[in-house]
Structure 1
Amino acid sequence: MNHTIEIDGIHVSPHHYIGGQRVASSQTFTDHCPIDGHVIGEIAAGLPEHCDAAVTAADEAFPAWAALGPEGRRTHLRRFAAEIRAWGEKLARVECEDNGMLLARLRGHQIERCAQNIEYFADEAVRLASMAFDGEKAHHDVRHEPAGVALLITPWNSPMMLTTWKLGPALAAGNAVVVKPPEWAPLTCSMFGDIADAAGLPKGVLNIVQGIGAETGARLVADPRLARISFTGSVPTAKQISQSAGANLVPASFELGGKSPFIVLADADLQVAAETAALQYRNAGQVCLAGTRLLVDESVAGEFLDRMHAVVERLRVGDPRDPATEIGPIIHPRQFAQVDGFVQRAVADGAEVLWGGSAHQAGDLYYQPTLLGSVDQESEIVQNEVFGPVLVVQTFGNDDEAVELANGTRYGLAGVVFGEDERAKAVADRLRTGMVWVNSFFLRDLNAPFGGIRDSGIGREGGQWSFEFFCDIKDVMMPHTPYRPVFAGG
C-alpha cells in the first residue's frame, strides 16, 4: 500500500482514498503525461466494492460532520485551505505534468484560487446560517441544512481548481463527499486525500475513487444513498447521469461547456478586443468559457483580424514547464484527434484556414492556434464544441444579425461583447446565455452565479447558488401572535 508515483521528486499515491485510508485495486488504468507522452503510472480503478465502500464511508461520517455546524466545519476547512497553500508547489508541478497546464499559471493563480474556493464557502456557510426575516404573520428562520452524501465528478481540463470549486460548498454545507477524478488527470485529486490527512479532516468526510467514467462513474451515480450529484463534463455523459439520478430522485447539477460568442462591434477598442480574442487559446483552448465563435462587424473585420493575427503570431507554443510558454499541449491523443478531426472536416466542407490548421512542431500533442473563416452557421465547426485551440470567425452587418448568430447554437454558457459601453450592454442583454462579459473577459467573483442554459447545463455554482444545491432548505416559522386554528366556516 506504500507504492507511490514519483513526479519530479514528489510522491503521489495511485490508490483510492476511502474512509481516511489508501485502498489499492486489482485493476488499474494508465496515466500519461501530455507534455511528452510518457507513462506517469498505473492508477487504481474503482471496482464495485470500492464505490460501495466510499459511499458507505461518507454515509457513516456524515452525521458527525453535519452536527459540527457551520462554525465547526469552518475551522476544519480553513486548515484544509492552509494545507493547500503549503502543498502549493507540489500541487502545481504535479498538475502541470499530469494535465499540461502552464506551470507559471498554476503557481501564479490556480493554487491560491483553490485555497480561496475552500475558505470562501466555509465563510459563506456561516453567513447563511443566520438567515431570517419577519413575514406578515410569522418569523421565518431559514435553515440551510446538510443534504447527505454528495458525489462530485470533476473534469480533466482544470481538475485541481474545479475539484475545490465543488468541494468547498459541498463540505461547508455539511455534506460528506465522494470525488470521482478525471481519468486523464487524476493525480492532484489524489493528493487532496493526503492534504485532508494533514489538515485533520475527519475520516470519511472526503473520499476519492478513481477510474474510467463509463465504469466507475456509472457505478457511483447509480447508488441510491447519494443525496446530490455535481458533474462537469460532456452533454452525452450528463444525459446518462441524469437517467441514474432520476431513477433515484437525486438532485443533479450539470456544467457542460459551451460554444460561446465573442462579439466585436464596430465601435469597439479593436486592439483590446484582438488581444482578448487571442486569450481564447489559453490552456490550448481547453476552457469551457472560451469565446470560440468570433462575430465581428463586417466594417472592421479586416482590421480586427490583422490585429489579432499579430498577437497570435507572438504566442509561444511549447513545454508548459517553460515560463516563456503561453500555450501548452492538448491533454490526450483522443482529444487531439477530436480537435484535428473538426478542423479537417471543416476544411473539407469549404472552411478557409486563416491561420494554424494543423499540428505544431513542439510535440505530438501540440496544436497550432487556429482560426477558420468562410464557415456556415449550421456547420459542425460552428455548432459543436471543439475544446481545443480552434476558433471560427463570422461577420455581421448590424446588431440584430449579431444577436441572431450568437444565439444560434444549442449552447448557452457564456458570451463576450466589445463595443461602446451602452451599445455593448444592450447586445449583451439579448444574448441567451448564463454569463456575459462586456468589454472584458474572465472576470470571476466567488459570489457570482456560474452556469449556463440549454445544453450548457442545469443549475448554478457560486455564492448562495451553490448552497441552494448542496443544502436542503428548511423554513421554521413562529407566529407573531398566539396562534388559534380556524376551521372553514368557523
Structure 2
Amino acid sequence: MADNPVEHTAVVAGVPVDTRHWIGGRRTASPASFADLSPVDGRELARLARGGAAEAGAAVAAASAAFPGWAATSRAERARVLHAVADGVEARLEDLARVETEDNGALLRAHRRSVMPRVAHNFRYFADKALELGEKDFETRGHRNHVSWDPAGPCALVTPWNAPLMLATWKVAPALAAGNTVVLKPAEWSPLTASLLADIAADAGLPPGVLNVLQGYGNEAGAALVSHPCVRRVSFTGSVPTGRSVAAAAAAHLTPVSLELGGKSPLLVFADADLDRAADLAAEQYDNAGQVCLAATRLLVEEGVAEEFTRRLAARAAALVQGDPRAEATGMGPLVHPRQLERVDGFVRRALAAGARAAYGGGRHEELGGLHYRPTLLTGVDQDSEIVQEEVFGPVLTLQTFRTEDEAVELAEGTRFGLAATLVTGDPRRAERVSARLTAGTVWVNCFYVRDLRAPFGGARESGVGREGGTWSFDFYCDVKNTVTAPADGGGHG
C-alpha cells in the first residue's frame, strides 16, 4: 500500500485522478507502471499502476469476500446505493467529461450532453429494473412456480477504450444491481474515468470490495482476471481475436461469458429513399472518428442513385470540422492512439494499392497533424477485399452498388459479422422484408443509433455471444432459478 496519495495523483484537465488500483475499498500500488497518453496532443497524462496476476488475484479475493454481504443486501437497498452513485456521476459530470475527452479524444460536448448523462442513467435504470424481477408467479396443475434471479458471484468486466465510462457502466450497473461484486478492468488506452468511478462509488456508500478497479494491460491483468477460477461471470467488449482468448480462458472453469465483438455493419440505401436523410445517416458513421462498434461502414447504394448520394455525402464530409475535441465547433476529433492511426492508415493504403479509389479523404490530416485522419470514402472495392471484410475502426467507409433487393441483401450478408445494420427506404413493406433477411443484433430503419436500455443488445456470428440490456442483462449476471411448490395440502405430482 502506498502511503502518500499525492505521489499517485495525476491532474488531468484540472481534475485530480488517483493512478492506483482500487481493491477492497483501498488504493493499491504496483511495482510497475504504464503511461497513458492523450490523443489530443500526445502528452503523457499519467503513469498508472500496472497490474498483473497478483493484483488480479487480490481484486478477485476482495470481490469474493464482499459477495455474501452484497448478495444478501435487499434489492431496495442496492437500488438506493446505485441511485446515489448516479447522483455522484451527475455531480461530477463536468469532471468526468473533461477527463474522458483528454483520455480518449472524443468530443467534449458529446461527453457533456449525452455520454455522461447516459452513465448516470445506466445506474438508475438497472437499479430500478432489478426491483421488477420475479414479480409474477404462475401455476402448473396447482403448483406454484416462482422464478428468481439469484446473484452469481464475482464478475470480471473487461471494457474498451472508445466509450470508456459509458460502456463500463453498461456492465457494472446490472452486475451490481443483481447482487454481484465486480472487478472492472478498463482499457489501458483510456483508464482514467474508471478510477474516478471508484471514488464516486465509495462516496455513495458502496461497500468495500463490491466494486474493484484493476488497471493494466490485457495480456497481463486482463488475462489473469478472466481465467481466475473464482470469477463466475465474464463480460468483454473488444476485438474478435481477444474475444476468442477470453472465451477460451473462461471455458476452463465453465464460466459463462458475454462477448460484444467487432462489426462491419452495412447501410443499405434504396432508390426510393430520402437521399438527404440517407446522406445524413451515412455522415453519422464518422462520429467519434469512426471508432464505434456499431458504425455502418459498408455503404450499399442502389445503382441509379449512387452518384447523387455520393455527392451529398461528400458535401457533408467536407463540412465536418476536424480539430481539438474540446472545442464546441469540432465535429470530429483525433484517433485514440498512434497505434490506431497506423492501423487505420494501413487499411486505407493497402486498399488503394489494391485498386480502390478515394472519393474523398484517404489519408492523414496533414494540416492538423497528430492523430487526425480525414473522413474517407473508398469506392471501386471488391466484396472479398480486406477493406470490405475487416473492421477498420476509423473514419473510413466503403461504397458498393447494387441493382436489386436480393443483390443488396447478398452484399449486406457477405461478411462474418452481424452486429448491426441500417437501411433507408421509403417503402415500409421493403423495410420489413429486408430487415427480416438481415443477420444482425440491431436493425435500424431510416434512423441510426437509437438505443434503449430496455432492448437487447449484442451481435450474431463473429460479432459476439449473448445479449445484454433489460432483463437480458439479469439473465446473464444471475443464476436464474425456478422454485416449484406443491399445493398446501401436499397433493399433486409432476
TM superposition score normalised by structure 1 = 0.98
Deviates more, 1:427-436 or 1:134-143: 134-143
Q: Where has structure 1 moved over 4 Å in runs of 4 or more?
A: 484-487
**Does residue 386 in structure 1 map to residue 386 in structure 2?**
no
String of CA shifts for 1:159-206, please: whole Å, max 9, x gaps.
010011001100000000000010000000111111012111101000
Letter in 2 for 1:450: F
Structure 2 CA distance for aligned equivalents of residues 479 and 431 of structure 1: 45
1:464 is aligned to 471
Question: Which residue, 431, 437, 446 being the options, matches 2:438?
Answer: 431
Question: Which residue, 198, 202, 206 being the options, matches 2:207?
Answer: 202
How many angstroms does 1:118 deviate by? 0.5
How many angstroms does 1:479 deviate by? 2.4
Letter in 2 for 1:343: V
Question: Which residue, 133, 138, 146 being the options, matches 1:133?
Answer: 138
How many angstroms does 1:370 deviate by? 0.2
String of CA shifts for 1:76-100, please: whole Å, max 9, x gaps.
1010110010110000000000010
Question: Which residue, 367, 370, 391 being the options, matches 1:364?
Answer: 370
How many angstroms does 1:482 deviate by? 3.6
What SS is found at the alignment partner of 2:322?
A: coil
1:407 is aligned to 413
Question: Which residue, 286, 292, 306 being the options, matches 1:287?
Answer: 292
CA contact 2:13–2:102 (8 Å) conserved in 1: no
How many angstroms does 1:221 deviate by? 1.0
How many angstroms does 1:312 deviate by? 0.9
1:61 is aligned to 66
Q: Which runs of 5+ in 1 are unaligned?
A: none
What SS is found at the alignment partner of 1:424?
A: helix
CA contact 1:265–1:424 (8 Å) conserved in 2: no
Structure 1 CA distance for aligned equivalents of residues 360 and 446 of structure 2: 25
1:314 is aligned to 319
**Does residue 445 in structure 1 map to residue 442 in structure 2?**
no
1:39 is aligned to 44
Structure 1 CA distance for aligned equivalents of residues 53 and 176 of structure 2: 24
Structure 1 CA distance for aligned equivalents of residues 312 and 432 of structure 2: 24
Letter in 2 for 1:363: G
Structure 1 CA distance for aligned equivalents of residues 173 and 467 of structure 2: 14
2:198 is aligned to 193
**Does residue 275 in structure 1 map to residue 270 in structure 2?**
no
1:220 is aligned to 225
Question: Which residue, 221, 243, 249 being the options, matches 2:248?
Answer: 243
CA contact 2:53–2:220 (8 Å) conserved in 1: no
Structure 1 CA distance for aligned equivalents of residues 142 and 152 of structure 2: 29
1:338 is aligned to 343
How many angstroms does 1:407 deviate by? 0.4
**Does residue 177 in structure 1 map to residue 182 in structure 2?**
yes
2:461 is aligned to 454
What SS is found at the alignment partner of 2:48?
A: strand
Question: Which residue, 4, 16, 26 being the options, matches 2:9?
Answer: 4
How many angstroms does 1:137 deviate by? 3.9
Structure 2 CA distance for aligned equivalents of residues 131 and 28 of structure 1: 51
Letter in 2 for 1:167: V
Q: How many residues are paired up?
A: 487
How many angstroms does 1:483 deviate by? 3.8
CA contact 1:70–1:129 (8 Å) conserved in 2: no
2:380 is aligned to 374
1:259 is aligned to 264
**Does residue 159 in structure 1 map to residue 164 in structure 2?**
yes
How many angstroms does 1:485 deviate by? 7.6
CA contact 2:321–2:329 (8 Å) conserved in 1: yes
TM superposition score normalised by structure 2 = 0.97
Structure 2 CA distance for aligned equivalents of residues 395 and 335 of structure 1: 29
CA contact 1:316–1:327 (8 Å) conserved in 2: yes
How many angstroms does 1:481 deviate by? 6.5
Question: Which residue, 53, 57, 63 being the options, matches 1:52?
Answer: 57
How many angstroms does 1:139 deviate by? 1.2
**Does residue 81 in structure 1 map to residue 86 in structure 2?**
yes
CA contact 2:142–2:492 (8 Å) conserved in 1: no
